[in-house]
Amino acid sequence: MNDHQKSLILSSSSQFPPPQGVKLSYGTSGFRADASILQSTVFRVGILAALRSLKTQSVIGLMITASHNQVSDNGIKVGDPSGGMLTQDWEPFADSIANAPTPQELLQLVEEFVAKEGIRFDGSRPAKVLLGRDTRPSGDSLLEAAKQGISSIVGASAVDMGIVTTPQLHWMVRAKNKGLKAAELDYFEQLSSSYRCLLDLIPNGSKVEKAQNKLVVDGANGVGSEKLEGLKKSLDGLDIEIRNTGKEGVLNEGVGADFVQKEKVLPQGFGPKDVGIRCASLDGDADRLVYFTLPSENSSKIDLVDGDKILSLFAVFVKEQLSILTEGGQMVEDGYHARLGVIQTAYANGASTNYLRQLGLEIALTPTGVKYLHEKAAEYDVGIYFEANGHGTILFSDHFLSWLEAKNNELASRSKGSEQQKAALRLLAVSKLINQAVGDAFSGLLLVEAILIHKGWSICKWNGLYQDLPSRQLKVKVIDRTAVVTENAETIAVKPPGIQEAINAEIAKYPCGRCFIRPSGTEDVVRVYAEASTQEAADSLANSVAQIADQFLGSRSSSSV
């Protein structure tokens, strides 16, 4: 690293002193905190993104968002060249530079890291970072900090993509690195044309009642509502009404996918007149999606159709199309058997896991956080992953897609218009519709809509695939949440010693009882999840285990979600 580069880092970082007395951590999906303390972190992540671009010789993404958190928070996360999350190997570097107390110490960490990673740092290679942000008011000034960080690396440039959803930015990074068109309109065009393609392949006779056509979307008062308006323009035939657009309400306050999923009541802007209508909620950066419907006008309690049910719907459809394709032993003839897998976390409702198992599907469990689910899903030809909270997608392997293309070409010449060829075309359309970089509420929503029309199902019919087991989530404020260490995809707490035995003794008291604790990756709390055969039993199990957490970890208090 030459002197010019060194002095550039020193002088620019002196403009962004880190906050005193705060330790920041990259966490489950990037840094998140009150926006007022994030300038220096975002500046430093700008440096990291430029280095990542130099190292990979690819375009890197930086998204400024705190997703479903309150509006005064903000955050930043890095998108790798594939469009997925930052490689986990670089997270410790992110943590250390975010917490370096002085410009000199920051420079030293950067120098050591550059040497260790063998990053060529002579300014002769370009680096490019795409920047996106959600609608938070703090986004503008944090964007400037990120730009300063990027431009403190010689040869690095920032491209501001403006206000975008998180999945849009990930999609753009992926498209750029594949040499494809990567503008917002290209994204809308890809989603709408593949959706139309699925509708063109709807079997004759499938039809949904007119009254069931309407979909009402809760935009969480965030970026999703504005962008969904844009997407709507390129879609015809889909009747979407968007509420909670941010013109009046506050981002994520009493609205959005996180609120709806956890509270199981109507979000603001919805009321008794919506009884029986198919509704969906996005979160603040539109990477989560849940559906719901109001069963009775006398209560605001909703029937929630969560990420587990979306996963189940997708799994049913994909499995069905794959089996049409294999009819007559075609795949066996080819000597190729597509491996379909579904990936869940411990939060998946036990009833969903049973249902998927009964379908004969291979099920894998990972820790919470998209980076873990995504990585696992990539091991399959078709890997479907979802968290109960509504974040997920379907990944198709390159190998499977080339096989499918070839199969489709062969069927087109041998039996054009056959059921088998239609199945191949449907799967190809799904692979284009559903975001391959990260979970995306828009592509998820369009795929749900297409499958419901395909099957002629109402939201009630879909919701009736299986009955959720009653569950309860609590959070416990403890002195040090890192004292909890889990194993087996967070289903067992191995530390502090003895805590799992105490939890097991509680679980044993409840029929169909299941319960686990884990330290949150986004908040300073320990989370408790309990499931049992009745709501009272699930509540009571969660409360008892929260007390156990108090006893073992030293309490600061516990509250519902």
Annotated binding site for Mg(2+): 67, 283, 285, 287
Matching residue, tokens 């695939």: 465
Q: Which does 141 bind (CB under 5 to 8 A by kind): ligand 16G, Mg ion, none?
A: none
Question: In terms of CB distance, is 285 or 531 closer to Mg ion?
Answer: 285
Nearer to Mg ion, 164 or 484 (CB): 164
CA 421 to CA 5: how far, in whole Å? Answer: 57
d(CA 278, CA 290): 11
**First CA to last CA across the chain, in angstroms?**
48
Under the criterion CB under 6 A, does residue 28 sit at the interface with ligand 16G?
A: yes
Q: How many Cβ atoms sit within 10 Å of the Cβ of residue 138? A: 21
- Tell how far CA 398 is from the center of its chain: 22
Told to check if 429 binds ligand 16G by CB under 6 A, we report no
Report residue 59 CA to chain centroid gap. Answer: 21
Residue 527 touching ligand 16G (CB under 6 A):
yes
Phi and psi dihedrals of 53, rounded to 5?
Answer: -70, -40
- Closest distance of CB 282 from Mg ion, Å: 9
The b/e string for 264-290 (b: 16+ C-beta within 10 A; e otherwise) is ebbbbbbeeebeebbbbbbbbbbbbbb
Residues 186-225 that bind ligand 16G (CB under 6 A): none
User: Does the protein bind ligand 16G through residue 227 (CB under 6 A)?
Assistant: no
**Closest-CA residue to 176 (of 85, 57, 90, 63):** 57
Selection from ligand 16G, Mg ion, none that 285 binds (CB < 5 to 8 A by kind) is Mg ion
Cite the annotated binding site for substrate by residue number.
Answer: 387-389, 518-522, 527
Of residues 474, 405, 392, the one with CA closest to residue 434: 392
Q: Which residue is nearest to Mg ion (CB)?
A: 67
Q: In this structure, which amino acid lies at residue 131?
A: L
Q: Which residues define the annotated binding site?
A: 67, 283, 285, 287, 387-389, 518-522, 527
151 is annotated as an active-site residue: no
Which spans of this chain sit near Mg ion (rule: CB under 5 A)?
67, 283, 285, 287
Alpha carbons within 13 A on the beta-carbon side of 414: 11
Amino acid at 255: V
**DSSP conformation class of 21:** T
Residue 490 interacting entry, from Mg ion, ligand 16G, none, C-beta within 5 to 8 Å by type: none
Please report, as a single letter, which amino acid is at residue 326: T
Hey, is 286 helix, strand or coil? coil
Interface positions, 332-371, toward ligand 16G (CB under 6 A): 368-370
Annotate each residue in 62-91 with x if it binds ligand 16G (CB under 6 A) or - if it does not, as one string.
-----x------------------------
Minimum CB–partner distance for residue 507 and Mg ion (Å): 31
Out of 53, 67, 225, 352, pick the active-site residue: 67
Judged by beta carbon distances under 5 to 8 A according to partner kind, the member of Mg ion, ligand 16G, none in contact with residue 283 is Mg ion
The answer to whether residue 521 forms part of the interface with ligand 16G (CB under 6 A) is yes
The one segment of 122-130, 418-426, 446-454, 518-526 that binds ligand 16G by CB under 6 A: 518-526
Only segment of 131-139, 450-458, 488-496, 516-524 that touches ligand 16G (CB under 6 A): 516-524
Residue 253 in tokens: 């306050």
Annotated catalytic sites, by residue? Answer: 67
Sites of contact with ligand 16G (CB under 6 A) = 28-29, 67, 368-370, 387, 389, 391, 520-523, 527
